[in-house]
Amino acid sequence: MAITLMDPDGLPQVDAYRQVAVATGSRLVFVAGQVAWDADGVTVAAGDLAAQVERCYLNVGTALAAAGASFHDVVRLTAYVVDWTPAKMPLLLDGIARAGAALGFTPTPPATLIGVAALDVPEHLVEVEATAVLD
């Protein structure tokens, strides 16, 4: 495998992600921010952050598969959440867990969460982008 995930001594261990990804592959895959759209571009789960997170991760999985990759190849995730507050963390983690169950894998690469005022359309509560490395 081209990626080693780790939590170095001196940095906190977080269940949802690892602090560092070391990639030795040679092919990069950049997945555009995915929102809670179905294949027809219709927003799903309006008003439900956990369900939208799940859909975003599933959409990232679909994009990765098209490039011959999977979440095992992801070295970085970034999530943009509308009107973020720490009280929303359980919903975010629930959505990630549900996506992980559907994918058969819990994504834990280094991740960044950014609170934003709005996304492309008012119904979208979250957007997730990914970078993967392949051998």
The arithmetic mean of pLDDT across residues 79-85, rounded, is: 98
User: Which residue shows structure tokens 């081209």?
Assistant: 2
3-state helix, strand, coil in the chain (%, to 5): 30, 35, 40
What total number of domains does the chain contain?
Answer: 1
The pLDDT value given to residue 96: 95
pLDDT tier, 1 (very low <50, low <70, confident <90, very high otherwise): low
Q: Tens digit of pLDDT for each residue in 11-49?
A: 999 988 999 999 998 899 999 999 999 999 999 999 999
Q: Which domain holds residue 120?
A: 2-134
The arithmetic mean of pLDDT across residues 71-99, rounded, is: 96
Q: What is the CATH number of the domain that holds 8?
A: 3.30.1330.40
User: Which residue shows structure tokens 């859909």?
Assistant: 55
Ranges assigned E (strand) in the chain: 3-6, 20-23, 27-34, 74-82, 111-116, 126-134
User: Which residue shows structure tokens 């309006």?
Assistant: 46
